Amino acid sequence: MDSDSPLLQFIRESSISIGDGTVVEYGSKEHINEFDRIISDLQSIKSTIRKGENRKFHRKEAHRIQDAIGAIRYLKRRATRDGIKKGLLDESLKSKKFG
């Protein structure tokens, strides 16, 4: 798909409903904070299943959670770049390392 396709443009201009039901603009600070919250929650779940006697049996699940964290980080970077382009976010966030 072309980066200037109408569908992609529509997605970038649309509003996003976050976890608590609040509607925010794609790429806004609140949207980025929601990605941070989700990543933190997933890391907490991952650390929980890696403890205890059954940790060997949860290797695959921990790996899948880590893959999900990586995917959400990618979406966060995309939303951040778009938020900077739209002027919703400060340019200084571009040089900040995303985790």
Total domains in the chain come to 1
Query: What pLDDT, on a 0 to 100 scale, did the predictor assign at position 9?
Result: 66
In three-state form (DSSP H/G/I as H, E/B as E, the rest C), the secondary structure along 20-77 is: CCCEEECCCHHHHHHHHHHHHHHHHHHHHHCCCHHHHHHHHHHHHHHHHHHHHHHHHH
pLDDT at 25 over 70: yes
Domain membership of residue 23 (yes or no) is yes
Domain membership of residue 99 (yes or no) is no
What average pLDDT score do residues 57-70 get?
94
Query: What pLDDT, on a 0 to 100 scale, did the predictor assign at position 23?
Result: 83
pLDDT at 57 over 70: yes
Domain membership of residue 1 (yes or no) is no
Domain membership of residue 58 (yes or no) is yes
The model carries a pTM of: 0.74
31, 79 Cβ separation under 8 angstroms: yes
Domain membership of residue 60 (yes or no) is yes
pLDDT at 45 over 70: yes
- Burial group, residue 80, by CB count within 10 angstroms (0-12, 13-18, 19+): buried
pLDDT at 80 over 60: yes
Q: Domain residues for 19?
A: 6-94
- Burial group, residue 32, by CB count within 10 angstroms (0-12, 13-18, 19+): buried
